[in-house]
Amino acid sequence: MIRSLMVVATVLILCVACEGNSVKKEKDDDTAGTDTTVDADTSTGDTAITDADFAATCGNGTKDGGEPCDGDTKNCVLIDPVKFTGGKAKCNETCTGYDTVTCDENPAICGNGIVESPEKCDGTIDNCIDIDPLIFAAGKARCKTDCSGWDTETCESSGDYCGDGAKSETELCDGDSKSCVEINPSLYESGTAPCNEWCSGYDTTDCVVIQSVCGDGTVEGIEICEKDTLANCVDIDPFSYSGGKAYCLDDCSGYDTVTCEENTSGTLFYDSFENGGAKWLLEKDWEIGQPSYSNAEEIITGAYGGLNVLATNLTGPYTLATQGLPYSQAAIIAEPIAIPTGKATTLMFRAYVYTEYYTSTSDPTQNKWYDGMIIELYDGSTKLGEASLETSTLSLLGDFSIPGGSGYVVMSGVRGHATADTYALFSADLSSYAGQSVTVSFLFVSDYMGSNYGVALDDITITAQ
């Protein structure tokens, strides 16, 4: 319930903070496709998901499990005000969207000089660099006779774009492949990963993960420890425990700390991520483990301390959104933190950060940071506010833009380009929440283009002194 309300609250905040019609351009060669999208009504907090996600609950008359609809109807104009002029549409049988066959379509007449859905253009000529600044450097292009797109034969290629087969300074790969073992030798035993469609990293979908055997006496793969072995509780978590010993869990995923003596010296929360994910509720792509990503200037091969971190994607890059919608994912401390009165309560953590900075050759107003992380505080299901962060590395904290409303909205939080394998210290004063039990959520939000590694967090601590 908390996670669902968090996503709803986040989207409402995004819509209030809209900064007009600033829309970042992206390459789009699909001029006649049949793209499947979900309900564009962002008030529900929906993002793009697969049809299989809806199958379990479709038909119960309630929008759940991420469904954009379930047994209801919707005015066609609300579905797409450009494409439809009237009518109503029923939710389809798979609850993945609305059946718009009953809608009154706005007739598109190619040749009337007006761009009407689904036309891309109509009788006009445009600068090639405005059509796609990543591919074209100069020239003009005429609209095709069927209004489906631009005839770019008259454009001058920039010679530097994703898909040209040549890796540039702004690309991490282009048309090549890499051995999965080379990408992360501690995680993969074989396979080949091709460059992804954005040239921002390698697609590890087909990589073969090392199969660890719990109980064979060797800590390998994703194992934290081996069955029946003991560890000192202070070594497991020096902030949470002051003594005792703990056995490894039967599945080798961490330690059973029930036999540990808790530390009551002022530490309200601590996690170095060396003992699994029991302290967390992780949404979507957030994961705990050993980070490994190396592309151009984006290099992260280890944790700040120990082996493991909490990351938006251990092997990167982070997930891109559907165009026009933010992709939001939260890592939430599972138990509320009771903030004491009369003490200075501080949140601290280390972070490696690498998010998108977009540069446009045709529109300098688009030259800014995109994608980033904020920290939200909740009392139950009620959002109390956002943590005001400070950092030892000022370049990693500031404004970033994400989709919201009819354009982009500006948020302030963690974003930027960290030095290779370098973790900066971040902190926030939580004393203003004294007397309340707060749920702490690390929320990362991305847009639909320009994916980088994201963030890796280590040694998250909340203290009261």
Element spanning 78, H or E: helix 76-79
Sequence letter at residue 79: I
Structure tokens at 73: 């109807």
Count of CB atoms within 10 A of residue 283's CB? 17
Count of CB atoms within 10 A of residue 88's CB? 17
Structure tokens at 224: 């934290």
Assign 33 to helix, strand or coil: coil
Q: For residues 317 and 173, what is the distance between their CA atoms, to the nearest angstrom? A: 12
Burial class of residue 83 in the structure, from the number of CB atoms within 10 Å of its CB (0-12 exposed, 13-18 middle, 19+ buried): middle
pLDDT value of residue 453: 95
Structure tokens at 323: 């165009």
Across all residues in the chain, what is the average pLDDT? 82
Assign 191 to helix, strand or coil: coil
Residues with Cβ within 8 Å of 259's Cβ and at least 6 positions away in sequence, in order, are 233, 244, 245, 246, 247
Residue with tokens 């039990």: 437
pLDDT confidence bin for 183, thresholds 50/70/90: confident
Cα–Cα distances in angstroms (integers) from residue 263 to residues 231, 239, 268, in the given order: 17, 7, 9
Q: What is the mean pLDDT of residues 241-251?
A: 90
- My answer on whether omega of the bond before 238 falls inside 30° of 0, hence cis, is no
Distance of CA 130 to the CA centre of its chain: 28
Q: What is the pLDDT of residues 15-67, one digit of tens each?
A: 444 444 444 544 333 333 334 444 444 444 444 455 555 667 898 988 887 78
Return the CA Rg of the chain. Answer: 25
Cβ pair 3, 330 in contact under 8 A: yes
Paired strand residues for 89 = 74
Residues with Cβ within 8 Å of 148's Cβ and at least 6 positions away in sequence, in order, are 31, 32, 119, 120
Q: Which CATH class is domain 276-465?
A: mainly beta
Q: For residues 2 and 397, what is the distance between their CA atoms, to the nearest angstrom? A: 27
Strands (E) in 52-153, as ranges, are 73-75, 84-86, 88-91, 98-99, 104-105, 125-127, 136-138, 140-143, 150-151
Paired strand residues for 202 = 195
Q: What is the pLDDT of residues 296-325, one digit of tens each?
A: 789 999 999 889 999 999 998 999 888 778
Phi and psi torsions of 79, nearest 5°: -70, -45
Assign 14 to helix, strand or coil: helix
Q: For residues 215 and 235, what is the distance between their CA atoms, to the nearest angstrom? A: 22
Residues with Cβ within 8 Å of 13's Cβ and at least 6 positions away in sequence, in order, are none
Higher pLDDT, 52 or 270: 270
Q: Write down the domain spans for the chain.
A: 276-465
Q: Is the dihedral of CA 337, 340, 341, 347 positive or negative?
A: negative
pLDDT value of residue 54: 60
DSSP assignment of 196-212 equals PTTSSSB--TTPEEP--
Q: What is the pLDDT of residues 390-430, one digit of tens each?
A: 998 999 999 999 888 767 899 999 999 999 899 999 999 99
